A and B are shown apart, each in its own frame.
Chain A
């Protein structure tokens, strides 16, 4: 027991309960945790993000209930799956009948299938903690050649003080299937609580999966997400990530493209105020030829907030005719805001078209003056310019009711009108 006391990771999870039903994923994660340490800024992947704010605290699990009505998106006709502090609340969920979609606890993912899928993929201490201690989460299964008619809205609510939520989800879209998922992360009367999320998926041959993630948790909470998607040949995957929440957010998004003729698209908008730290780490690993990817992340940082973007694209030696586009743009609204932007292209093939661009600057003074000479106040002029700047990312949210609710959030939170 002395050893355990010295291990910071083990003392961090001390007191957390694990589901009684054991499976391979849980067991292996628990075992791996024994040898883990929390990353320091000396680790390249965490160079700009100190996790001490999280790891020096202690969090407890809390299975409780909430009134879901504030979290239902108006006019969004969707399957609603509710997770309170990471526990799946079937009683609060509303699922439509659809032969294309099967919803089960995440434990039902076949161990052998899953083990093979994520073989050789690096875990980190947070994904391992999630996998070892997750006590809720779903396995969404989309049947072959079928389309899920309505979007699947996964509603995550963090509530209570110093609470940890470890939701873990797996989405499998079988050959030729199609689904669209909305994941929202919000908090209610939560003080210094921690969402530690794992979302993984497999987009099989010719399948389509679209995900829109909107995270607006309270600014004294913490959010770490580890997202991993594997694409098979001819598949299409899109994920939009909108982040305005949490004191510290780290979105770790990895896409492994394991087949030809795939298209991958990731877009993100992150908007920081106060002392928020918003970190987006993305990876696209192109293992096969004839694929395209497009990535656009935009940040608007105010006050003393810090933005981090790290976008890695790997094109393996035999992956020819790859087209990869990446851009990261940032606007600093205050002198004390900072952004660390790092595009990373590792290209080992010859026939590749990759472009990347990274910009960080202030709002265009000339444009601001121009708008003001038309009678627009400085505040509204700034809002128009900020809205224009991140507008092209928001336009990627093609579900109208969701877009409306995001717009509404921006209006309430920042006074930005689109």
Chain B
């Protein structure tokens, strides 16, 4: 579904953040990307979503056979990519419902499907908000405006449920969550998993992976995937920290 080959990216000021990253994600898989602060985890998420301010200097990314890097941000979403933000943006005055209706209808139009009628749309809102126990009242409020940290993260997963992406990238979704919210959010993600979609979990800590079991754990350090392993790798990282990897690398 997603193939990243030798990806190099720099911030526009010049510093290279991603230095030859390779990765392959197939339908039905959950990949965790872990790594120390500053390794390039959030840059990877931003580059995949098409955020401005980065120069892709080398490499390629294909998403379901399409050249992802050639697509506008909104077209990546229409092709089925979803980014759950580490810091969801507050947008006063734009209601959750209104914006999701616009988004869903644009996505459906792109795919040659008819717009959802009001009844089906509202049914979907109800179903999706149940998945993350989001108060339906929050669904009609302004996007993230005045939401608590936990509500913001639940709202991200609510939107994921609404938009039914093929590939979801969860960028530090666990940050700032208490244990109850963490359970609700991961429970929501688990409900949305299927053999047809895939999830990339970007996280600094292992604790989210107690609830969402990854098929692969990648360690991202200094702009590259330095190690890939099964879910047990996450536990090892938690125990030994990231310095252990550097030592291992040096001894090799």
Contacts and interface: CB of A to CB of B under 8 A. Distances in A.
Interface in A364-381: 364-367, 369-378, 380-381
B138 interface: no
Given A373-B83, A377-B106, A391 B99 contact: no
- A interface, size bucket: 20 to 34
A125 interface: no
Interface stretch (B6-14, B25-33, B86-94, B126-134): B86-94
> Could you say which of B89, B104, B142 has the most chain A C-beta atoms within 10 Å of its C-beta?
B89
B99 A384 contact: yes
Contacts of B93: 387-389, 391-392
A381 B102 CA distance: 9
- B interface, size bucket: 20 to 34
Interface in B63-91: 72-74, 76-78, 82-83, 85, 88-89, 91
B89 A375 contact: no
Interface in A107-158: none
Interface of B: 49-52, 72-74, 76-78, 82-83, 85, 88-89, 91-94, 98-100, 102-104, 106-107, 110, 142-143, 159, 163
Contacts of A373: 49-50, 73-74, 76-77, 82-83, 85
A385 interface: yes
A335 to B, nearest CB: 16
25 contacts: A364-B91, A365-B52, A367-B89, A369-B49, A369-B51, A369-B89, A370-B85, A370-B89, A370-B143, A371-B94, A372-B74, A373-B73, A373-B74, A373-B76, A373-B77, A374-B99, A374-B100, A374-B103, A375-B77, A376-B74, A380-B102, A380-B106, A381-B74, A385-B91, A388-B92
Contacts of A369: 49, 51-52, 73, 89
Nearest to B84: A373
Given A367-B89, A373-B83, A387-B94, 6 more contacts: A365-B52, A373-B50, A375-B106, A375-B163, A376-B103, A388-B92
Contacts of B159: 374
